[in-house]
Amino acid sequence: MALPSKLSLELVTPDRALAHEAVDEVQLPGVDGYIGVLPGHTPLLALLGVGQMWYRRGTEKTFLSVAGGTVEVLPDRVIVLSLTAERAEDIDIMRAEAARKRAEQALVKSARIEDVELARIALLRAISRLNTASKARTRG
Ligand code: ATP
């Protein structure tokens, strides 16, 4: 059977659809490390962690920050259901900086292990947003 030449990418959060397009490659932050997908990939279901995702159409890459959710990979489709996702250009940098500072303070101040874990994940979200915001759409 011939390999598909493109991937149909669907990316949705509980509030909105962020992408529904034909792409050449996708990279996602799985909980166990980054997952790279090209057309023809083996079917896969994975949990998303917190971090940067990108997809490529030709030589153009689009960067997003995602946090939590699932990804289903089929040979010709990638379906991402993420709890939150923001395109690089939509990220409010001052908000992410403020969230980073709050999370750092909460990490130091928290006495309960549950609060430490919440602060740790909030810090990861803020760092991912700041890293992603520094990426514009790139070519090559
Ligand atoms: P904050 O403390 O600033 O609200 P947070 O990490 O607690 O940050 P989330 O609960 O992950 O925020 O997200 C709530 C909503 O706000 C989501 O729709 C998310 O996409 C959006 N969001 C959060 N931070 C930013 C940001 N810096 N820029 C743009 N959208 C953001």
- Range list for CATH 1.20.5 in the chain: 91-138
Is the pLDDT confidence value at 136 over 70?
Answer: no
3 state SS of 13: coil
96 Cα to the center of ligand 1, angstroms: 8
Ligand 1 neighbourhood includes 91 CB (under 6 angstroms): yes
Q: Where in the chain is the domain with CATH 2.60.15.10?
A: 7-89
Say how far apart CA 87 and CA 89 lie, in whole Å: 6
Using one digit for the tens of pLDDT, what is the confidence trace for 74-132?
Answer: 999 999 999 999 999 999 999 999 999 999 999 999 999 999 999 999 999 999 999 99
- Compute CA distances 83 → 3, 22, 80, 113, 120, whole Å: 31, 22, 10, 23, 17
- Give alpha helix (H) positions in 23-72: none
Q: How many CB atoms lie within 10 A of CB 77?
A: 17
Mutate to test the pocket of ligand 1, among 63, 84, 128 (most ligand atoms within 8 A of CB): 84
What is the assigned CATH class of domain 7-89?
Answer: mainly beta
The stretch 50-79 carries a mean pLDDT of 97
Between the CA of 24 and the centroid of ligand 1 the distance, in Å, is 29
**Euclidean distance between CA atoms 23 and 77, whole angstroms:** 9
- Cα-based angle 135, 25, 74 (whole degrees, multiple of 5): 135
Average the pLDDT over 60-71 and give the result: 97
Reply yes or no on whether the pLDDT at 62 is more than 50. yes
At the topology level, CATH places domain 91-138 in 1.20.5
User: Which residue type sits at 96?
Assistant: A
**pLDDT class for 140, splitting at 50, 70, 90?**
very low
pLDDT at 43 over 90: yes
